[in-house]
Structure formats: C-alpha cells, structure tokens
Amino acid sequence: MAGRKFFVGGNWKMNGNKSEIQSIVNSLNAAPLNDQTDIVVSPPAVYLEYTRGIISPKIRTAGQNSYKVAKGAFTGDVSPQMLIDVGADWVILGHSERRNLFGENDQLIAEKTAFALESGLGVIACIGEKLEEREAGRTEEVVFQQLAAIAAKVSSWDKVVVAYEPVWAIGTGKTATPQQAQEVHAQLRNWLKEKVSESVASSTRIIYGGSVTGGTCKELANEADIDGFLVGGASLKPEFIDIINARS
C-alpha cells in the first residue's frame, strides 16, 4: 500500500455496442465512486471516443492494445497517437489474450510499452503464467522473464501499472487466493527493488487480474502489495462498482 493510489481498470474486451455502453456508463456516472481510486475503462477501440464523450471526467479511458510505431502499413492496428487523439489516457499491453491467442512475444510487448510511454500514454503492462507453468513451479521464472523484457525498454516507471494476471484464473471462475496473489505481488515488487530501484519498487502499482468479483475484491484489496485490479467480465456488470470501492 505505502501511499500508492488504488487503481481499478475495467477491460471490456470485444464486448458491447452503443446502447450497452450507454447503460454501463449511466450506472458508473450515477454511482458513488471512491475518490481515492484511479478508475479506467477500456472499451473496444471503435467505441473509445463514444465512451469518452459520455463518461464522467473522473473515469479515464484506455485502449486495449496499440502498436510500436505512430503510423504505417499495419492493417487493423492502432497507434498510441490515435488513442490519444480520441481521448484515451492509458493502454493495456501484453494481456494474456494478446500473448496466447495472437502470439505476441515478450520483445514486441516491451517495444510497444516503450513507444506508448514515449507517446504520452500510461501503460497497464500485463504479465502472468499459464496453468501448466504454475503447476510446474515456474510462476516466478515466467513472470520475472516477462517483467524483465519490459524493464529493459522502460526508462521511467511513472506511468506504468503492472497487472499480474495468472492466465489460469482469467475467465475460468478460478481465482488465486488472496495469499497466492499477494505472494506473487510481493515477489514482483522485490524483483523491481533488486533489478530496477527501491523507489520504483515502492511507488509502482501492481494490480491483480484474474476473475476478480464483487465477492472476492475486498479481501484481495487488503493485501499489502495488491494495489488494485484489472477486471474483465465483471467490469460489464453492476458489481464493478463494488470492485472500484473495494478499499473504501
């Protein structure tokens, strides 16, 4: 915790249309939300500008992905500059679905992270192990390797939020226990202390993503090294408000 501001992101993934987004936004705008929490929602890219136009100014928006250059012959991709142009402040990079469904490797994610930061976006940088990696006792090895690739390209951590997302707990209904999640968060913070600096380790927010619900969020939020959440499916539901307010 150590003075780090709580951070909750809602990753809407490939879900929603204008009427559904209007409904979600109406409920968020009307809800009493904790002023001590940074709140970000990440709609599909085609709805970013629409969402920004109707959502409360205290809620920021994020792209779900961006490429490593400003423009060019990269069909179907978007650049940080385009995200900024439609009102985004953040971008999610390295999400397990990008890594495991679309084949993005550590090097590409690191390059995209560096360019997004240079361009002025904040980055929610995702790392996490698969079930077979956890069961083989390789959690530390995998998440340290993913974080090391990012760290090698990042000069300033001021606008980086690290999201630990155990792949085995995304969309599966399985959740790491608060103790399991805290253990990895503490290991990641210690890695940052040893490999980057003590100040980066103490100030960088490390958030948890992995089937977080209104029912599990408060206990997770009480752990010393869990500084918030990156929420998938639950961010489309009313319980997202409870998750935002988990530490109030």
Active site annotation includes 165: yes
Name which of 112, 41, 101, 48 is nearest 74 in CA terms: 112
Quote the DSSP letter at residue 5.
P
Kindly give the residue spans of alpha helices, DSSP state H, lying in 76-197: 80-85, 96-100, 106-119, 131-135, 139-151, 178-195
Reported as a pLDDT band with limits 50, 70 and 90, residue 2 is low
Residue 68 · residue 101 · CB < 8 Å? no
- What fold characterizes domain 6-244? TIM Barrel (3.20.20)
Question: Is the entire prediction scored with pTM above 0.95?
Answer: yes
Q: Is the dihedral of CA 198, 220, 181, 230 positive or negative?
A: negative
Active site annotation includes 95: yes
| Structure tokens, 173 | 């209904």
**Catalytic residue chosen out of the listed positions 20, 95, 135, 141:** 95
As a whole number of angstroms, the distance between CA 194 and CA 188 comes to 10
| Structure tokens, 172 | 């599966």
Would you state the pLDDT for residue 1?
59
**Catalytic residue chosen out of the listed positions 97, 129, 165, 185:** 165
Domain boundaries, the chain: 6-244
Residues in a beta bridge with 93: 125
Collapsing DSSP to helix, strand or coil, 200 comes out as helix
Q: What is the pLDDT of residues 210-223, one digit of tens each?
A: 889 999 999 999 99
Q: What is the pLDDT of residues 117-142, one digit of tens each?
A: 999 999 999 999 998 999 999 999 99
Beta strand 160-164 pairing with 205-208 = parallel
Contacts of 239 (CB under 8 A, 6+ apart): 213, 214, 215
Would you state the pLDDT for residue 238?
96
As a whole number of angstroms, the distance between CA 52 and CA 66 comes to 18
Q: What is the pLDDT of residues 151-183, one digit of tens each?
A: 999 999 999 999 999 998 877 777 789 999 999
